[in-house]
Copies of this chain bind each other. A is one copy, B any other.
Amino acid sequence: MIRISIDAMGGDHGPEVTLPGLLRVAERRPDARFVLFGREDAVRPVLDRLPDLKAISDFTHCDVAVRMDDKPSQALRQGRWKSSMWKAIEAVKTGEADACISAGNTGALMAMSKFCLRTMADIERPAIAAIWPTIRGESIVLDVGATIGADAQQLVDFAILGAAMANALFDVERPTVGLLNVGVEEIKGQEEVKEAGRMLREAALDSMHYHGFVEGDDIGKGTVDVVVTEGFAGNIALKSAEGTARQIAEYLREAMNQTFLARLGYLLAHGAFQRLREKMDVRKINGGVFLGLRGIVVKSHGGADEEGFAAAVELGYEMVKSGVFDRTRATLDLYHARKPAALAGSAVSHT
């Protein structure tokens, strides 16, 4: 049985979308159980309409719901200890749930998750990992926006976190890991990336195969299983790619509507377009996973529909089922035990 706590109020549509989404998960994953948090007046009516979901869920009323446009500091001030978002995260901390899913605002969810769960030992800053569809299948890209800037050690930590996730979700023994960089050599700056490369090469971890630097177009090619970068560039890469996909879909729609022959061709090739649409369907890859915390939190897109929200919940479910957490812990322990720095200078801070 896998228990998942849900901030039912999160997202642009709240319980009207999140709850039917959960029902879809329940149909596909019979051992899933839900712990719901939200306002009684908003959640109860929807839950009453869905008896199959009600039967496998616990519901707790919360007065406060974090708004989508609340600033993280504001959300913490007003929603700590009592909002549906906080309660859902807290359920992971207390062991009431194995993972927490929210479609609420990213900044608030990250701030509360850090405050409530705290980071894993040896991890200074959490990352948000996205699953990125590629020509070869899927890759993991992190960080896509949790923190701006990262030093070499943090990039190495992200590599370890991402590799553990790839290992668990994609079932690859030693996932390949690349550091996102620009192609031009001898360029000023980004010393952190070069230093992280040296560290990863020296560490020669069993849990991954360090590939070297990759460029922006390597992500979609699927050159590596895990692409590591700091949050500013990662977020911009993700959103640029999403923007391009939408742009091409728009071009395609226009082109197929322009002439009678095109429309006829479109009808005949309908099945093919359907498959293409499925490949490009962002709903199916919905969910940013917060890595590096003492518990699993998945952020669903705020505008996700039922199927999109279900995908995010299933991502959390898979993370639990595949034991990502323990694998990550094991690699981190191994890395930090072997690391010369841990034996020398920073031993104090790690004990």
Measured CB to CB, the residues of A under 8 A from B are: 71-73, 106-107, 110, 133-135, 145, 147-149, 180, 182-190, 215-221, 229, 231-233, 235-248, 250-252, 255-256, 258-259, 261-262, 264-273, 275-276, 279-280
Contact = CB atoms under 8 A, between A and B. Distances in A.
Contacts of A71: 185-186
A345 to B, nearest CB: 25
A262 B255 contact: no
A81 to B, nearest CB: 21
A245 B248 contact: yes
Given A72-B185, A259-B272, A180 B265 contact: no
A236 B239 contact: no
A184 B106 contact: yes
B255 A276 contact: yes
A38 B76 CA distance: 65
12 contacts: A134-B247, A145-B183, A145-B187, A182-B236, A190-B232, A221-B247, A240-B244, A241-B243, A244-B245, A248-B280, A262-B272, A265-B269
Contacts of A239: 183, 215-217
Secondary structure call for the A interface: helix
B265 A261 contact: no
B246 A273 contact: no
Contacts of A261: 268-272
A251 B264 contact: no
Contact of A145 (B149, B182, B231, B255): B182
Given A149-B189, A251-B276, A259 B241 contact: no
Given A220-B246, A244-B244, 11 more contacts: A72-B184, A134-B247, A216-B237, A217-B243, A220-B240, A251-B279, A255-B275, A261-B270, A265-B270, A265-B272, A268-B268
A264 B272 CA distance: 11
A249 to B, nearest CB: 8
Nearest to A248: B248
A245 B248 CA distance: 7
Contacts of A184: 72, 106-107, 110, 145, 235
Nearest to A69: B185
Closest 5 CB pairs of A and B: A216-B239, A265-B269, A265-B268, A217-B243, A148-B189
Contact of A233 (B233, B246, B273): B233
A217 B269 CA distance: 29
B255 A273 contact: yes
Contacts of A220: 240, 243-244, 246-247
Contacts of A245: 244, 248
A238 to B, nearest CB: 7
A186 B72 contact: yes
